[in-house]
């Protein structure tokens, strides 16, 4: 079964608008962490934001915020005030805390975001 699901293969957003990229996850572990990475066309993987399963507040990093709904097992990335440079692939990933030691960092299939001028 897919541990990380990203249902939006591609998204478009107008420059300066906000956009939400969806991510749902599946785990029976009580302790886990959720990550978002950005991969621009140049290919490198850039870490954006992290949410621990025990964190009560949603994580924020500049224009990025993570809408964490634990009961729904969702960890959506919100990008505010989109910029042309935000055009990239975005990957949601999960690290389980106790289960599957060593193999516990899994990625979703990604969402390609295109920011329109």
Cβ closest to other proteins, residue 63 vs residue 109: 109
Using CA atoms, how far residue 37 sits from 28, 30, 49, 99, 117, in Å, is 23, 23, 8, 22, 23
Could you give the residue ranges of the DSSP H alpha helices within 14-89? Answer: none
Cβ closest to other proteins, residue 57 vs residue 117: 57
Contact residues for other proteins (CB under 8 A)? 4, 9, 31-33, 35, 43-45, 47, 50, 52-54, 91, 95, 97-98, 101-110
Tell me the two tokens of residue 55.
């964190």
To the nearest whole angstrom, how small is the minimum distance from the Cβ of residue 87 to other proteins?
17
């Amino acid at each position: 079964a897919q541990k990380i699901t990203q249902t939006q293969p591609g998204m478009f957003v107008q420059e300066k608008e906000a956009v939400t990229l969806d991510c749902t996850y599946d785990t029976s572990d009580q302790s886990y962490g959720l990550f978002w990475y950005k991969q621009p066309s140049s290919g490198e993987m850039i870490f954006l934001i992290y949410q621990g399963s025990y964190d009560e507040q949603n994580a924020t990093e500049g224009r990025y915020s993570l809408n964490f709904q634990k009961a729904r097992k969702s960890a959506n990335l919100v990008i505010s005030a989109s910029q042309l440079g935000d055009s990239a692939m975005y990957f949601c990933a999960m690290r389980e805390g106790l289960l599957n030691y060593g193999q516990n960092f899994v990625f979703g299939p990604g969402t390609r975001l295109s920011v329109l001028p």
